[in-house]
Amino acid sequence: MYIQKCTEKSIKDVIKQTITCSLFLCADACDLSLDPNTANTHLILSEENRKATCLKEPQLYPDHPERFENYEQVLCGESLTGRCYWEVEWSGWAHIAVAYKRINRKGGIDCRFGLNDKSWNLYCCDTIYSSWHDNKANSTKIPPSSSISNRVGVYLNWAAGTLSFYSVSDTHTLTHLHTFNTTFTEPLYAGFVYADSSVSLCQI
């Protein structure tokens, strides 16, 4: 498996390369769905909980201890601890993240993905990308205009402590944007932040 060898040998030697989607084995593709119990009341889920759209008017959702109260965020229901790959399409602007389940739901700005030590986040808006963890911004490569798209691929190798983001072109070519290197201590959950936007989990 190409990505496995790259991670174990030296991911720094390859993450700047442009690679094709076929190099990610289907065994690493994750089938994710949004957890309605975590969705902020300004989000509406559709397409069998694979798409969320931000609305101005709040929805009448029941109270739930895992629901994000003050920010337009949602988590997926599946825990991630192995090698996982998924893709997301977004419109407007969006944050594509992973977080520990114990991230705060009811507090202030520290609940926002990327602004605490419990989450890792990529901000996407047109040609602007920035990555965030623990309220610190990381430099993120802006791909050439020919490869810019509204689809992002995410590759997690939990054991190796790597979380990589890629811009996915219409020809299914992946251009590396950023890789977090850390030590994960708990299962992760994919998550998203919205503002006048929509985000969809893609079929791979």
State the Cα–Cα distance between residues 158 and 162, nearest whole angstrom.
Answer: 6
Task: Say if 3 falls within a structural domain.
Answer: no
pLDDT score for 138: 83
Task: Say if 61 falls within a structural domain.
Answer: yes
pLDDT score for 146: 62
pLDDT score for 172: 81
Task: Say if 179 falls within a structural domain.
Answer: yes
**In this model, does residue 202 exceed pLDDT 80?**
yes
pLDDT score for 23: 57
Specify the DSSP class assigned to residue 182.
-
Task: Say if 169 falls within a structural domain.
Answer: yes
User: Which residue segment(s) compose the domain that 30 sits in?
Assistant: 8-201
**In this model, does residue 9 exceed pLDDT 60?**
no
Instruction: Say how many C-beta atoms besides its own lie within 10 A of residue 86's C-beta.
Output: 22
Looking at this protein, which amino acid is placed at residue 45? L
Instruction: Compare 155 and 195 and report the one with higher pLDDT.
Output: 155
Band of pLDDT at residue 13, cut at 50, 70 and 90: very low
**In this model, does residue 158 exceed pLDDT 70?**
yes
Instruction: Say how many C-beta atoms besides its own lie within 10 A of residue 55's C-beta.
Output: 14
Band of pLDDT at residue 14, cut at 50, 70 and 90: very low
Mean pLDDT on 87-114? 93
Specify the DSSP class assigned to residue 94.
E
Task: Say if 2 falls within a structural domain.
Answer: no
Band of pLDDT at residue 137, cut at 50, 70 and 90: very high
pLDDT tens-digit readout, 42-67: 999 999 999 999 999 999 999 999 99
Task: Say if 114 falls within a structural domain.
Answer: yes
Band of pLDDT at residue 26, cut at 50, 70 and 90: low
> What is the number of H-type helices and E-type strands within the chain?
1, 14
Task: Say if 1 falls within a structural domain.
Answer: no
Band of pLDDT at residue 21, cut at 50, 70 and 90: low
CATH number at residue 145: 2.60.120.920
pLDDT score for 73: 96
Give the bridge partners for 115, in sequence order. none
pLDDT score for 61: 95
State the Cα–Cα distance between residues 159 and 66, nearest whole angstrom.
Answer: 26
Domain count, the chain: 1
**In this model, does residue 6 exceed pLDDT 50?**
no
